[in-house]
Amino acid sequence: MGYVKILNIILALLSWDGAPSSELLSPSVISHMTEVAQAIESAPVEYQVRLIALGYEESRFGFQHVLKGRKLRVKSSGACGIFQQLPKYALAGATTCAKLQDPKEAVKQALAYVKMIEKRFKPRHKGKGELRMDRAMCHYFSGNRCDRSARKYSARHRATRLKAMRIWREWR
């Protein structure tokens, strides 16, 4: 897709969310978002839009934290990075919260986890395309159970994914 296109999609999603241009265009945020876009570009093409939507839904790509010079971590749950992952579950604990601050590591871990979820829950949840992605995101949110709050998360992820696809198609 190209990291510039990914960067533009990220910035468009954030501006639609009401993020002020002055904050989005600050040097620290642009630098961070460029790193995020380049890391997402390194993922297989079929996962890029999903990772964009995942980063948006989980942390808005952490732009507020970067703006304030803080690490991206939720103290109550221990989730870290732009994809809000728990280090003990990311590749069987092969990472740390400090490593998940790096967009490359965060993308690597998120991609591995999404692939694991797809493989693990594929036999139980038949479906193709969007339905299969929705199920995977439901389990990304909640683990083994796909409860009501996880299904709501999955629906939000789908809406963001579709917005990102619309932007990508417009800039083709």
- In this prediction, residue 45 carries a pLDDT of 92
The answer to whether the predicted template modeling score (pTM) of the entire model surpasses 0.85 is yes
Torsional sign, CA 111, 114, 120, 124: negative
Give the pLDDT confidence of 101-125 residue by residue, as tens digits.
999 999 999 999 888 888 887 645 4
Calpha distance 160→152 (Å, rounded): 12
Collapsing DSSP states into helix, strand and coil, what is residue 74? strand
Q: What is the Cα–Cα distance from 9 to 30, expressed in whole angstroms?
A: 13
- Judge whether 135 and 119 are in contact, CB under 8 Å: no
Please give the helix or strand (H or E) that residue 61 lies within, else none.
none
Mean pLDDT over 53-75 rounds to: 86
Domain ranges of the chain: 3-170
d(CA 25, CA 31): 9
Q: For 130-172, how does the pLDDT look when each residue is reduced to its tens digit (9 = 90+)? A: 777 788 888 888 888 889 999 999 999 999 999 999 988 887 6
Note whether 81 and 113 are within 8 A (CB).
no
53 touches 164 (CB < 8 A): yes
* Predicted pLDDT of residue 51: 95
Task: Judge residue 50's burial from the number of C-beta atoms within 10 Å of its C-beta, 0-12 exposed, 13-18 middle, 19 or more buried.
Answer: buried
Residues present in the chain in total: 172
- Measure CA 17 to chain center: 16
- Closest to 34 measured CA to CA, from 108, 103, 105: 103
Architecture category of domain 3-170 in CATH: Orthogonal Bundle (1.10)
The predicted pLDDT at position 40 comes to 97
